Amino acid sequence: MFERTIKRGDVIELAGIEGMVLSIGLRSSIVRTRAGHEIIIPNGELIQGHVDNLSFHDTNLRLDVEIGVSYSSDPHEVRQILLDAAAAHSGILSVPAPEVLLMGYGDSSVDFELRVWITNAWLVPRIRSDLLFVCWD
């Protein structure tokens, strides 16, 4: 805690709980989940446990969105649609540039992954949803 590896406002994940650090006290810290629950975590768990700090040195975060399409789809057209969806979203950075990877051939779909960079880890669910809606359309 004295090393400042976790600070107020950081988005962290600890033992399957993801949330924003609201406060750090002498014995415990308060983390607010996306669902609005405030969880009191003993500082010992933050020191001894595996903590994934999504906003430690850099608030930029890569977001991977998996998308499966029909085998009748043109993969080059799918790639362009995904890149256009990323370019149109104000929450996605242009540098590093979004990229689309063909990940494999599933039982009933051709599987792609859209990789984008965002500046706010708290917005991951919203941006993922926005991209999926745009791709559906």
What's residue 60's pLDDT?
86
What's residue 16's pLDDT?
84
| Residue 18 to residue 100: CA distance in whole angstroms | 27
- Tell me the per-residue pLDDT of 110-125, one tens digit each, with 9 for 90 and over: 999 999 999 988 889 9
What's residue 4's pLDDT?
65
What's residue 97's pLDDT?
96
3-state secondary structure of 103: strand
What kind and span of H or E run contains 135?
A: helix 124-136
| Residue 31 to residue 42: CA distance in whole angstroms | 11
pTM for this structure? 0.75
| Residue 31 to residue 19: CA distance in whole angstroms | 6
What's residue 85's pLDDT?
94
| Residue 82 to residue 131: CA distance in whole angstroms | 8
Mean pLDDT for each consecutive 10-residue tract of the chain (137 residues)? 72 87 91 90 84 77 94 96 95 96 96 95 92 91
